[in-house]
Every structure is written in structure tokens, then in C-alpha cells.
Amino acid sequence: MLDEFQATGRVRTHVVQHDVPRFAAHPDTAAAFLRLRAAAARDGIVLEPYSSFRGYAAQSRIWERKFRGHAPLYDIEGRVRDRAGMSEDEVIWHILDWSALPGASRHQWGSEIDVVDAAVMPPGYKPQLLPAEVADGGLFAPLHRWLDAHIHEHGFFRPYARYQGGMFAEPWHLSYAPVSMRAIDDLSLDVLRRCTEASDIPGKARVLELLPEILERHVRNIVPPPPGCAW
């Protein structure tokens, strides 16, 4: 059970820092991820955490840069959207296509890790975490076929396996079910509302009005763990 500051990523008392590879996660997630990584290594994959625990402040910076136009908004194919004439509501929903509302990100729970395969990256390669990389012929396509076959036996699943009206598909985003399937219940509407009211994110007034819909469409609307994924 996460308290409301843990569930919204405003503290990191529920995560541990791991050094090699470098990532931060709930202790149970960290242990399971290292087992998954060891299994991947036996098949020639260097399973690298690209992003793991991300606290409220970091999520706020992402939100602010996208809201103010300092970072691009992408469409479902990963193409940059034209912002000309976009209403505030459109900006908010288009940010939410790819990025969570601060306070509502699964990365705040310590249960989520975005992964890449360091074994196939050319020197200096910067992962995009966009669809082309994981599609057939993409750099990380073989990694994803391996993940398809093996994550569930280690307790991981893909909450954004496919687009179903909330977040766009993010197959690289793995979730450790024993931690996240409990955390999702800790992030209630009241908890998220108190967190947002205490914030100064741009668009706050409209976000507060949209909060119940954001919670339903972007937090609760996940692809659940399959039967073979124990939690």
C-alpha cells in the first residue's frame, strides 16, 4: 500500500536506487527486473532500463515543456503535431496521448521500467521510444519478440500493449504486476485531486475539471496482466 505522497511520486520512500544498471524502483520490482535481465542476458539481450522511477517533479517538467510548446507533441505514429490553432483542451489531451499527468504517472509507483536492448544500439545511439523502433525491421524488434515470450513468467506485463482510447501503445513500458496492481487502487480521485490542487502546473484549472475523465481514460484504462502473469 502506497500512501498518497508515494502514489503521486512526491516522495521516493518506496523505491531503492540500483547502480549497475542504474535505475530506481520498488524493492520487489527491482529484484524481479534483475531476474528478467539475467534471463535476457542468457539469450544475448542487454536489457537496459531507459526510464524507471520518475517522481512528481520530473513529470511536471515533462508536462510543462509540452504544454508550453518547448517539447513536441506526437501523433500515434510518432510524427510531430502542428500546434497552430490548438485549444487548451486539445493540448492537454495530446500531451496525455504519450505523457501522464503529474501525479498520475505509473512511473511514480516504482513498478514501471521502460526498456531497450543495449546490445544492438550503435555507439552514441539515443533511444526514441517511438513506434518505428519496435515495429518489424526496427532496432528493437527482436527485443520485443523476446519480451513477448518471457515477461509474464517474471511478473511483468505491458499496461500500454495497445491503444484503447487512453495512452498510445508503449510496448517498451513494462510493469511489475505485484506492485502496480495494488498501486493503481492507491491513486484515487481524491488523492489525485489533492495533489493537483497543491501543484502549479500550467493548465491546472482545466485539468482539475477534467480529472475524473483523465483518471478513467489514462490511469484505469490499461491492458491488464494476462492470466499467466501472477500477482
Q: Which residues bind Zn ion (CB under 5 A)?
A: 114, 173
Angle between helices 177-186 and 27-42 (to 10 degrees): 150
Residue nearest to Zn ion (CB): 173
Nearer to Zn ion, 65 or 193 (CB): 65
Residue 145 and residue 17: Cα distance in Å, rounded?
A: 29
Q: Judged by CB, which is closer to Zn ion: 154, or 173?
A: 173
CA dihedral 115, 121, 125, 131 (to 10 degrees): -50
Measured between alpha carbons, how far is 6 from 151 in angstroms, rounded to an integer?
25
Question: Smallest distance from the beta carbon of 172 to Zn ion, in angstroms?
Answer: 7
Local structure of residue 78 (DSSP, 8 states): S
Closest approach of Zn ion to the CB of residue 129, in Å: 8
3-class secondary structure, 92: helix
CB closer to Zn ion, 164 vs 209: 164
- Tell me whether residue 48 or residue 114 sits nearer to Zn ion (CB atom): 114
143 and 120 Cβ atoms separated by less than 8 Å = yes
Q: How far is the CB of 26 from Zn ion (least distance, A)?
A: 15
Grid cell locating 187: 491513486
* Comparison of 114 and 133: residue with beta carbon closer to Zn ion: 114
**Least distance CB 29 / Zn ion (angstroms):** 13
The least CB distance from residue 14 to Zn ion, in Å, is 17
